[in-house]
């Protein structure tokens, strides 16, 4: 199954425990669909491409972005299998937030990519941070249990002068801890509006 980059670790674990392989890719429904098609062409059976916004495309339906088809499948499945039972093992993070850091530099794409590169370099020197196994856009960082107990993804917006930052934590206050680290990592970036990282 291909999803976009902001899906939770809990969803990843749920899918893997159900015997599926989970492949995170770039935001944008065409990106996840094209990645699923590419994987199938490589011989990797990929049945579903889905974005967190709800866009979904199935291999059996020629990877068309078809909401009516998805809704019909869900209803047909729910008639035979209670969804509450099916999703019983799907956990959720305790905290979840998205902040959008505005870039004021005129050449916002290059500036944003340089910021992401610098975040990556600073995370390399933090022993409590590890990198996600695969990241196809931006940088996704995992924080240990004493420094946020969750993850942070920083990426470039597809169209706007913005760095969307997604954070999820398994403990109370974890998101604020990771936001504080991010603000400190970016303290000298004068072309970023860091006010969104304030508590």
- pLDDT tens for 27-80 read 999 999 999 999 999 999 999 999 998 999 999 999 999 999 999 999 999 999
What's the average model confidence in pLDDT over 20-31? Answer: 94
**pLDDT on residue 135:** 75
What does the pLDDT look like over 112-152, one tens digit per residue? Answer: 999 999 999 999 999 999 999 877 899 999 999 999 999 99
**DSSP characters over 37-49:** HHHHHTT----EE
Quick one: which H or E segment has residue 24?
Answer: strand 23-25
Return the bridge partners of 99, or none. Answer: 165
**Which residue, chain included where needed, has tokens 């990797």?**
44
**pLDDT on residue 136:** 84
pTM of the model: 0.89
Pairing verdict, β 2-4 and 23-25? parallel
Q: Using alpha carbons only, what angle is made at residue 155 by residues 151 and 156, rounded to the nearest 5 degrees?
A: 165
Q: Is the sign of the CA dihedral 187, 175, 178, 106 positive or negative?
A: negative
């Amino acid at each position: 199954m291909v999803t976009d980059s902001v899906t939770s670790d809990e969803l990843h674990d749920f899918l893997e425990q159900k015997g599926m392989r989970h492949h995170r890719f770039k935001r944008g429904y065409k990106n996840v669909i094209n990645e699923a098609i590419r994987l199938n062409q490589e011989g990797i059976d990929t049945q579903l491409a889905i974005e967190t916004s709800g866009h979904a495309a199935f291999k059996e339906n020629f990877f068309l972005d078809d909401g009516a088809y998805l809704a019909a499948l869900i209803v047909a499945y729910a008639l035979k299998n209670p969804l509450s039972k099916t999703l019983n093992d799907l956990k959720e993070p305790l905290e979840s937030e998205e902040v959008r850091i505005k870039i004021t530099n005129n050449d916002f794409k290059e500036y944003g990519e340089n910021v992401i590169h610098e975040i990556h370099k600073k995370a390399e020197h933090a022993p409590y941070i590890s990198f996600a196994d695969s990241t196809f856009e931006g940088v996704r960082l995992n924080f240990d249990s004493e420094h946020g107990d969750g993850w942070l993804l920083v990426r470039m917006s597809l169209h706007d002068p913005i760095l969307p930052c997604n954070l999820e934590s398994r403990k109370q206050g974890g998101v604020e801890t990771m936001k504080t680290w991010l603000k400190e990592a970016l303290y000298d970036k004068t072309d970023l509006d860091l006010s969104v990282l304030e508590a």
